[in-house]
């Protein structure tokens, strides 16, 4: 049986805010945490039991980290595949590295989603000038050119209106491997988070609506106003994908809401920004749920008990804590980052709605 008992140490690869909130949840449940990150003074290091600062290619440091923990998880996607493979040869990694192999690469990810019979935007690979011209012909304009790897918060993607645009955009993206996607005229963006246990039990959180500004999540409304129309399909999609990937832990599914139903945009096998509301709005917050799943516990209740709005505090907006501090229904989370660049996720606030 794969129960990791309290007192054990959970290794977390990545030191950002997701690692910080995972470490807090783990600590409450009696676990120690050990963060592995290349960054000094990382948000997670402020609350973890131990931190190793090391490069993802530093096999000596990674081996020592792997040997010092009882289970490993990760808090972001852009970890080199070899890093997780190496850790997996020493200690159980959850979710397993093959999950990340599929979800960190936009082409593999969309091919996988489609292979499960689940709808996505139309897409085509772009690895040469010929493929680019061919892709524009098949998909048409407007469309979106995205690098297959390393993109986040809208980085590494360009909206295209003509073949000429596409050529310029591809050069600007460094002529690296890309995916061209049809531009979806969605009525809303939504996401759902499913947790899957070591026993294959799966539980979904309610569907939420996500409002982006400049491609970065601005606000999450939980539950989504359109929950009654789309929850059943969202749950079905999320459970199918989590099962097919054999995820242990969380899987976040970002979707576009269209007249034809939901289209899956991308997957993240980890806690997700659009799930932060669960810390106040659901009996089991997403961070606790991830720890429960990877440590072999039964999954907690995911029913929303309070409708919420979660607003990201980007850049200098973190100073709004002073306003929110006056509001009893506002729960401020700040990540301990000292350098507030525009667009940087400095914190978030969850506001309990009164309806």
Ligand X SMILES: Nc1ncnc2c1ncn2[C@@H]1O[C@H](COP(=O)(O)OP(=O)(O)O)[C@@H](O)[C@H]1O
**Which of ligand X, Mg ion, none lies near 154, with the C-beta cut-off 5 to 8 A by kind?**
ligand X
Tell me if 271 contacts ligand X by CB under 6 A.
no
CB under 5 A: which stretch of 91-99, 197-205, 228-236, 247-255 binds Mg ion? 247-255
Tell me if 183 contacts ligand X by CB under 6 A.
yes
Give the integer Cα–Cα distance in Å for 96 and 165: 39
Alpha-carbon torsion (86, 88, 90, 91), positive or negative: positive
> Which one of residues 14, 95, 151, 347 is an interface residue with ligand X (CB under 6 A)?
151
Q: Which of residues 70-129 bind Mg ion (CB under 5 A)?
A: none
* 338 contact partners, CB below 8 Å, separation of at least 6: 41
- Tell me the chain's radius of gyration from C-alpha atoms: 20
For the chain, the straight-line distance linking the first and the last C-alpha, in angstroms and rounded, comes to 44
Tell me if 144 contacts ligand X by CB under 6 A.
yes
Q: Is 316 helix (H, G, I), strand (E, B) or coil?
A: helix
Residue among 33 and 273 whose Cβ is closer to Mg ion? 273
Q: How far is the CB of 93 from ligand X (least distance, A)?
A: 22
Q: Running DSSP on this structure, what letter comes out for residue 120? A: B
Q: How far is the CB of 232 from ligand X (least distance, A)?
A: 23
Q: How far is the CB of 181 from ligand X (least distance, A)?
A: 4
**Which of Mg ion, ligand X, none lies near 144, with the C-beta cut-off 5 to 8 A by kind?**
ligand X
Q: Count the residues of the shown chain that bind Mg ion, applying the rule CB under 5 A.
A: 2
Is the backbone of residue 320 left (phi > 0), alpha (psi -120 to 50) or beta? Answer: alpha
Q: How far is the CB of 283 from ligand X (least distance, A)?
A: 28
Maximum Cα–Cα distance across the chain: 59
Give the integer Cα–Cα distance in Å for 101 and 193: 19
Q: At what angle do helices 17-28 and 286-294 cross, to 10 degrees?
A: 70
CB under 6 A: which stretch of 178-186, 197-205, 298-306, 336-344 binds ligand X? 178-186
Tell me if 192 contacts ligand X by CB under 6 A.
no
Tell me if 213 contacts ligand X by CB under 6 A.
no
Tell me if 161 contacts ligand X by CB under 6 A.
no
Token couple for 253: 């599914």
Give the integer Cα–Cα distance in Å for 158 and 346: 25
Tell me if 261 contacts ligand X by CB under 6 A.
no
Tell me if 273 contacts ligand X by CB under 6 A.
no
> Which one of residues 134, 153, 165, 177 is an interface residue with ligand X (CB under 6 A)?
153
Token couple for 46: 């402020």
CB under 6 A: which stretch of 22-30, 86-94, 183-191, 324-332 binds ligand X? 183-191
Answer yes or no: are the C-beta atoms of 192 and 210 closer than 8 Å: no
Q: Is 352 helix (H, G, I), strand (E, B) or coil?
A: strand
> Which one of residues 266, 280, 288, 317 is an interface residue with ligand X (CB under 6 A)?
266
Binding mask 255-294 for Mg ion (x = CB under 5 A): -----------x----------------------------
Q: How far is the CB of 180 from Mg ion (least distance, A)?
A: 17
CB under 6 A: which stretch of 176-184, 232-240, 279-287, 334-342 binds ligand X? 176-184
**Which of Mg ion, ligand X, none lies near 151, with the C-beta cut-off 5 to 8 A by kind?**
ligand X
Token couple for 233: 């399909």
Tell me if 221 contacts ligand X by CB under 6 A.
no
Residue among 254 and 309 whose Cβ is closer to Mg ion? 254
Ordered alpha helix ranges (H), 246-285: 278-281
Label residue 258 exposed, middle or buried (CB < 10 Å: 0-12, 13-18, 19+): middle
Using CA atoms, how far residue 47 sits from 24, 33, 43, 75, in Å, is 7, 9, 8, 15
CB under 6 A: which stretch of 81-89, 169-177, 181-189, 299-307 binds ligand X? 181-189
Interface with ligand X (CB under 6 A): 121, 144, 151-154, 181, 183-184, 189, 212, 215, 254, 265-266
């Amino acid at each position: 049986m794969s129960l990791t008992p309290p007192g054990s140490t959970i290794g977390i690869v990545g030191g950002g805010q997701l690692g910080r909130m995972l470490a807090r949840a783990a600590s409450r449940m009696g676990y120690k945490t050990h963060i592995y990150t290349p960054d000094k003074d990382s948000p997670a290091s402020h609350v973890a039991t131990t931190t190793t600062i090391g490069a993802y290619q530093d096999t000596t440091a990674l081996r020592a980290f792997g040997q010092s923990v009882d289970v490993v998880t990760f808090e972001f996607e852009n970890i080199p595949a070899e890093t997780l493979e190496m850790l997996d040869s020493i200690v159980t990694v959850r979710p397993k590295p093959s999950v990340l192999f599929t979800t960190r690469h936009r082409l593999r990810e969309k091919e996988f989603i489609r292979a499960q019979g689940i709808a996505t935007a139309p897409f085509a690979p772009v690895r040469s000038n010929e493929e680019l011209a061919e892709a524009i012909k098949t998909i048409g304009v407007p469309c979106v050119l995205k690098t297959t790897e390393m993109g986040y918060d809208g980085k590494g993607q360009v909206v295209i209106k003509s073949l000429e645009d596409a050529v310029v955009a591809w050069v600007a993206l460094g002529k690296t491997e890309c995916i061209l996607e049809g531009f979806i005229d969605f009525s809303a963006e939504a996401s759902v988070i499913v947790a899957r246990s070591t026993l294959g039990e799966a539980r979904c959180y309610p569907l939420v609506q996500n409002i982006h500004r400049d491609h970065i999540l601005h606000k999450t409304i939980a539950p989504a106003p359109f929950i009654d129309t789309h929850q059943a399909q969202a749950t079905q999609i999320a459970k199918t994908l989590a099962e097919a990937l054999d995820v242990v832990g969380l899987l976040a599914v970002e979707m576009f809401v269209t007249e034809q139903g939901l289209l899956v945009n991308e997957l993240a096998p980890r806690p997700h920004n659009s799930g932060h509301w669960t810390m106040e709005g659901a009996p089991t917050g997403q961070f606790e749920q991830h720890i429960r799943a990877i440590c072999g516990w039964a999954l907690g209740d995911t029913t929303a008990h309070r409708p919420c709005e979660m607003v990201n505090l980007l850049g200098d907006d973190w100073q709004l804590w002073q306003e929110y501090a006056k509001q009893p229904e506002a729960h401020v989370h700040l990540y301990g980052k000292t350098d507030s660049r525009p667009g940087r996720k400095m914190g978030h606030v969850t506001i309990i709605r009164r309806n």
